[in-house]
Amino acid sequence: MHLVVRVCVGMVAVFGLSTLAQAQSCSSDPSGFPAWLEQFKQEAVSQGISQQAVASALDDVTYDRNTISHDRGQKVFKQSFEQFSTRMANNFRVTKGKGLIRRYADLFARIEHDYGVQAPVLVAIWGLETDFGAYIGNFQTLRSLATLAYDCRRSAQFRAELMDALRIVDRGDMAPSAMRGAWAGEIGQTQFMPSSYVKFAVDYDGTGRRDLVHSVPDVLASTAKFLRSYGWQAGQGWDPGEANFGVIQQWNKSDIYSRTIALLADKIAGQSN
């Protein structure tokens, strides 16, 4: 009798572990997504995220084939620097950028005092990422992140990003419905991944929330904090070969994109034709 009980208990334990492992595993089969998501919710609560935040963020989330299509459809960057920079560091962004520096002169002065980052660089990043907040993306961030976390291609990376997105919800910075952006989970006017949002977002307008979607002060100060955290040197140059270009490369690993940020910043600052 005791042996039978042990065997039955052992079978239940093995079955339970097998079920949990199946729920934890990544897959390209959408049918396993609901079970995986339920297990992820339990893990999030075990990491200290409130049940309320987890439920509000994930209860209605479904697998998104469109996100996977975008992930699989990425193409190797084949444009030359000249081609890319001519298109991106255009007259519209230069003119708009200069106008925004004038409009927010006091804000930029405060940010440079606090973080050491010059206005033209912040405005160049702002312009290149979302045309100064005009195009932040319309993907449901939590849905995209959950789909990519379940998918096997970069599962560990996006599990961590999804967990940080839940932390953003839990601390009251954003409601789940407001979390919309690019297909890979970038949020806000300068496109922070949730992990960067958690680390670097600041409440610079004093509202009690770190809002990188609607608050220009929060957006720009958080971007400056990111750059300073990677070693930005106040008053130093940002072009290739200068002290701060390596920091710009931490913003975006693409050499062509980083050089375009520097070029656009030069044009906005009036240092280049």
pLDDT of residue 3: 35
∠ Cα 158 198 46 (to 5°)? 65
78 confidence band (pLDDT: 50, 70, 90): confident
Q: Looking at the structure, tell me whether residues 8 and 109 fall in a common domain.
A: no
Counting beta carbons within 10 angstroms of the beta carbon of residue 231, is it exposed (0 to 12), middle (13 to 18) or buried (19 or more)?
Answer: exposed
Query: 5-9, 82-86, 238-242 — which one is most confidently predicted on average?
Result: 238-242
Query: What's the domain range around 153?
Result: 2-73+138-181
pLDDT reading at 18 higher than 50: no
Q: What is the DSSP string of 88-150?
A: HS-HHHHHHHHHHHHHTHHHHHHHHHHH---HHHHHHHHHHHHTTTT----EEHHHHHHHHHH
- Looking at 154, 181, 208, which one is the last position of a domain? 181
pLDDT of residue 234: 98
Which has more confidence, 21 or 192?
A: 192
Beta-ladder partners of 180: 140
Q: What is the mean pLDDT of residues 242-254?
A: 96
Q: Looking at the structure, tell me whether residues 94 and 201 fall in a common domain.
A: yes
Q: Looking at the structure, tell me whether residues 98 and 159 fall in a common domain.
A: no
Residues 6+ apart with CB under 8 A from 195: 160, 161, 164
Q: What is the mean pLDDT of residues 30-37?
A: 96
pLDDT of residue 24: 57
Q: Looking at the structure, tell me whether residues 91 and 59 fall in a common domain.
A: no
Report the distance separating Cα 266 and Cα 268, nearest Å. 5
pLDDT reading at 273 higher than 90: no
Between strands 139-140 and 180-181, the pairing is antiparallel
Provide the CB-side half-sphere exposure for 38 (13 A, CA): 8
> Contact at 8 Å (CB) between 180 and 141?
yes
Amino acid at 4: V
- Looking at 181, 209, 238, which one is the last position of a domain? 181
Report the distance separating Cα 272 and Cα 6, nearest Å. 78
Q: Looking at the structure, tell me whether residues 232 and 259 fall in a common domain.
A: yes
Q: Looking at the structure, tell me whether residues 34 and 103 fall in a common domain.
A: no
pLDDT tens digit string along 257-268? 999 999 999 999
Q: Looking at the structure, tell me whether residues 229 and 158 fall in a common domain.
A: no
pLDDT tens digit string along 135-154? 999 999 999 999 999 999 99
Indicate the pTM of the whole model: 0.87
Query: How far, in whole angstroms, is CA 139 from its chain's centroid?
Result: 13
Q: Looking at the structure, tell me whether residues 115 and 154 fall in a common domain.
A: no
Which has more confidence, 242 or 20?
A: 242
Which has more confidence, 110 or 23?
A: 110
pLDDT of residue 12: 38
Q: Looking at the structure, tell me whether residues 219 and 107 fall in a common domain.
A: yes
Could you give the number of structural domains in the chain? Answer: 2
Q: What is the CATH number of the domain that holds 229?
A: 1.10.530.10
pLDDT tens digit string along 44-67? 999 999 999 999 999 999 999 999
pLDDT tens digit string along 149-195? 999 999 999 999 999 999 999 999 999 999 999 999 999 999 999 99
Q: Looking at the structure, tell me whether residues 68 and 200 fall in a common domain.
A: no
Q: Looking at the structure, tell me whether residues 194 and 259 fall in a common domain.
A: yes
pLDDT reading at 14 higher than 50: no
Q: Looking at the structure, tell me whether residues 18 and 93 fall in a common domain.
A: no
Report the distance separating Cα 29 and Cα 35, nearest Å. 12
